[in-house]
Structure 1
Amino acid sequence: MSTDTSPPVIVIGGGQAGLATAHVARALGLEPLVLEAADRPAGSWPHYYDSLTLFSPARRSALPGLPFPGDPDGYPGRDEVVAYLGDYAARLDADIRTGHRVERVAAGPDGFEVVTTGGEGFAAPMVVAATGAFSRPHRPRPPGLETFTGEVLHSAGYRSPEGFEGRRVVIVGGGNSAVQIGAELAAVARVTLATRRPLRFLAQKVLGRDMHLWLAWTGLDSAGWARPLLTGGKGTPVFDTGAYRAQIATGNPDRRPLFTRLDGDHVAWSDGARERVDAVLLATGYRADVDYLGGLGALDEAGRPLHRGGVSTTRPGLGYVGLEWQRSFASATLRGVGADARHVLTRLLGQTRGR
């Protein structure tokens, strides 16, 4: 294994979390090495569905050091985010190497050794895993899935309504992405949102201001203790201008309790009814893609990072940026990764300076 000149910190992932971490590292006087598996530093954004728009306005969707262009009160789309990340990376004074997929991270004499699938090796006293929470689609297995003869796909594989015309579609999940996709598909198909809990609509704007601004002003945006307030209650929270609630009220898409099982080309609903279905779309979220840390003892039995606020509780010098609810409601968002990156790097520097 060839070993490159050792940087002070290796950042794994060149999406929003990795780029924000590189920016913060430079501000702290470090020269980071960013290893990105794809051919450009844009994270998962190029792979999301075509009509995806942010749930927060542009003024609250920027990485540190570069405002999001365009209407500050508008809601940027997927391609705008991709372009923004590309511009952000080009402005960074950082060594960003695309086409470098990390295969494993091992303990080294001075911290960590990072090996890519191409066989290249790098060493550093600090490593930040910034592959985020959107790299690995979570695909639960509903009862009877092995017998279902229709199409099954995750929202990660959904692009547009094309090909769904006239079909019967059940979407499993009730977050903003599920509702956004359901509303879009309802223009060409018959759609049901199947959820464990009812939908709980939260006003996108209050007194003319976006809810995300209120969250920032009140401190709830960055308060870990606020999680029960934002995700608890009697329903799955969905930010809404009123359009989603109105469309669901028409009955397409409709919302039903999660089905009890799949059977052939049918679903069995909780009220005992059976219905033929053409496709099941799993809008069931993602899990952190950090298998490359498996040999470090840094993950629990389910493969989840063992950390406190993004700082590993088992490996000094190891941190994370971009995990959902890592420190706050905003942690896995464009607006939240910068603050988390500063928190993590400051603490990692404190751990490693005594080595």
Structure 2
Amino acid sequence: MITSSEPVVIVGGGQSGLAAAHAGLSAGLRPVVLGAGVEPVGSWVGYYDSLTLFSPARYSSLPGMAFDEGDPDRYPTRDDVVAYLRRYAASIDVEIRTGTRVAAVHPRPGGGYLVHTDSGDEIGATGVVAASGSFGNPYLPVLPGHDTYAGEVRHVAHYRRPEPYTGKRVLVVGAGNSAVQVAYELAPHARVTLATRAPIQFMPQRIRGRDLHHWLHVTRADLLPRSVLTRLIRHAAVLDTGVYRDAIASGVLARQEMFTAFTADGVIWADGTHEAVDTVLFATGYRPNLDYLAPLGALDDGMPRHVSGVSTTHRGLVYLGLEFQRSFSSNTLRGVGRDAAHVVAALAGGVSGRSLRRLPPMRRLPIPR
């Protein structure tokens, strides 16, 4: 029997988990947040040192708390975001258990779930919010010769700063924001080439003197549904003030068509030539980190089966922080709050016995000016 006196377990202590906890309180639920990290800031502490947000501070808040009282048009750094999430976690009256990694979620006879942690604890839950993100599951493509290559192969998830690569020959694989930012940062220290399958596409950071996110807000493009986005967005685009485009055009940052194979000491380029390479950094994205849901049968080859974040396989199971889950901004600070309100409404309906189909429409939240 599912009872609303039991907690809703939120797996993940980052921006998605905290947004879910805020929405859960507003819906009259009892959220319990389980975070694997030592503090509830998610994966932000693991990003490279120079990372800054693509959105200004005024567009980078979770529900209920503005980013800070600084310049609303600045681009917050990684450490700014970590500090903000610490403040946010301290401001919401929910139980947050850090250092608690969820090992498995099992269905419970009669309804609800049993959540098992690595420490051996078992928690009965009326519902589960899978908000564990994807940073813990970086994607590394397998290329011919990978096993024989003696150099360093890393995902950008494990990159921190450029100094360890000084004087080395480095390839950065990828055509998205992280690939271009890291390659540009490395260029003064190492011989760097961006390896991509197609020319890099750029999107202007500022249009008519205003940041792109201003226009996404006023045109409501941030709220376009996934079905529209997948038709409009065919390739990754790099947000740029012109610096990165100019660096590639001038040869400061080299770009070459993706190599076809590894060798013992380097790679084979698309034209058949061989080059010795010290390090290959893959900026090839991430996959949802949801292995703990495997006992439920809720996944399809590791990917969740859902519609707009609501599980299509299990009542009382919802997701947060998936890329393009409901909109362009679903897995960002500025957008996850909208998705949290949506999926928690579905979760609350399941707990109370109301139909899961009666979900509120997406709504435009006020943004401080």
TM-score by length of 1: 0.95
Per-residue Cα deviation, 1:90-122 (whole angstroms, up to 9, x for no partner): 011111111111111011133111111111111
Structure 1 match to 2:294: 294
- Provide the C-alpha distance between the structure 2 equivalents of 1:184 and 1:68, rounded to a whole number of angstroms: 27
Structure 2 match to 1:178: 179
* Larger mean Cα displacement after TM superposition, 303-312 or 7-16: 7-16
- Provide the C-alpha distance between the structure 2 equivalents of 1:350 and 1:32, rounded to a whole number of angstroms: 15
- Provide the C-alpha distance between the structure 1 equivalents of 2:296 and 2:257, rounded to a whole number of angstroms: 41
Q: What's the offset of the Cα at 1:51?
A: 0.4
Structure 1 match to 2:58: 59
Does residue 187 (structure 1) correspond to residue 188 (structure 2)? The answer is: yes
Per-residue Cα deviation, 1:239-265 (whole angstroms, up to 9, x for no partner): 101111111122232111111111111
SS at match of 2:71: coil
Structure 1 match to 2:363: none
Per-residue Cα deviation, 1:142-188 (whole angstroms, up to 9, x for no partner): 22111111111110110001111111110111110111001000011
- Provide the C-alpha distance between the structure 2 equivalents of 1:66 and 1:88, rounded to a whole number of angstroms: 7
Per-residue Cα deviation, 1:28-76 (whole angstroms, up to 9, x for no partner): 2222111111110011100111001111111111111111122111111
User: Superposition pairs for residues 203-222 of structure 1, below 5 Å?
Assistant: 203-222=204-223
Structure 2 match to 1:311: 310
Structure 2 match to 1:271: 271
Structure 2 match to 1:81: 81
Which residue among 226, 229, 234 is the counterpart of 1:227? 229
Q: What's the offset of the Cα at 1:196?
A: 1.5
| Aligned-partner residue type, residue 141 of structure 1 | V
| Aligned-partner residue type, residue 251 of structure 2 | G
Per-residue Cα deviation, 1:258-282 (whole angstroms, up to 9, x for no partner): 1111111121111222211110001
- Provide the C-alpha distance between the structure 2 equivalents of 1:26 and 1:94, rounded to a whole number of angstroms: 8
| Contact 1:6 1:122 (8 Å CA) reproduced | no
Return closer, same or farther for 1:225/1:217 CA change in 2, 3 Å cut-off: farther
| Contact 1:14 1:34 (8 Å CA) reproduced | yes
Does residue 164 (structure 1) correspond to residue 165 (structure 2)? The answer is: yes
- Provide the C-alpha distance between the structure 2 equivalents of 1:18 and 1:295, rounded to a whole number of angstroms: 21
| Contact 1:220 1:226 (8 Å CA) reproduced | no
Structure 1 match to 2:360: none
Structure 1 match to 2:151: 150
| Aligned-partner residue type, residue 14 of structure 2 | G
| Aligned-partner residue type, residue 152 of structure 1 | V
SS at match of 2:323: coil
- Provide the C-alpha distance between the structure 2 equivalents of 1:236 and 1:125, rounded to a whole number of angstroms: 38
| Contact 1:190 1:252 (8 Å CA) reproduced | no
- Provide the C-alpha distance between the structure 1 equivalents of 2:228 and 2:50, rounded to a whole number of angstroms: 30
- Provide the C-alpha distance between the structure 2 equivalents of 1:265 and 1:230, rounded to a whole number of angstroms: 40
Structure 2 match to 1:47: 46
- Provide the C-alpha distance between the structure 2 equivalents of 1:192 and 1:236, rounded to a whole number of angstroms: 18
- Identity %, equivalent residues: 55
| Aligned-partner residue type, residue 36 of structure 2 | A
- Provide the C-alpha distance between the structure 2 equivalents of 1:30 and 1:351, rounded to a whole number of angstroms: 12
| Aligned-partner residue type, residue 180 of structure 2 | V
Q: What's the offset of the Cα at 1:236?
A: 3.3
SS at match of 1:163: helix
Q: What's the offset of the Cα at 1:132?
A: 1.3
| Contact 2:311 2:318 (8 Å CA) reproduced | yes
Q: What's the offset of the Cα at 1:209?
A: 1.2
- Provide the C-alpha distance between the structure 1 equivalents of 2:63 and 2:125, rounded to a whole number of angstroms: 24
Q: What's the offset of the Cα at 1:229?
A: 5.8
Q: What's the offset of the Cα at 1:231?
A: 2.7
- Provide the C-alpha distance between the structure 2 equivalents of 1:105 and 1:53, rounded to a whole number of angstroms: 35
SS at match of 1:114: strand
- Provide the C-alpha distance between the structure 2 equivalents of 1:306 and 1:215, rounded to a whole number of angstroms: 28
- Provide the C-alpha distance between the structure 2 equivalents of 1:353 and 1:190, rounded to a whole number of angstroms: 60
| Contact 2:140 2:155 (8 Å CA) reproduced | yes
Tell me how many residue pairs correspond in the alignment: 348
SS at match of 2:255: strand
SS at match of 1:24: helix
Unaligned runs of 5+ in 1: none
| Contact 2:135 2:157 (8 Å CA) reproduced | no
Structure 1 match to 2:366: none
- Provide the C-alpha distance between the structure 1 equivalents of 2:182 and 2:316, rounded to a whole number of angstroms: 40
SS at match of 2:216: helix
Return closer, same or farther for 1:241/1:230 CA change in 2, 3 Å cut-off: farther
| Contact 2:103 2:118 (8 Å CA) reproduced | yes
* Larger mean Cα displacement after TM superposition, 100-109 or 221-230: 221-230
TM-score by length of 2: 0.91
SS at match of 1:214: helix
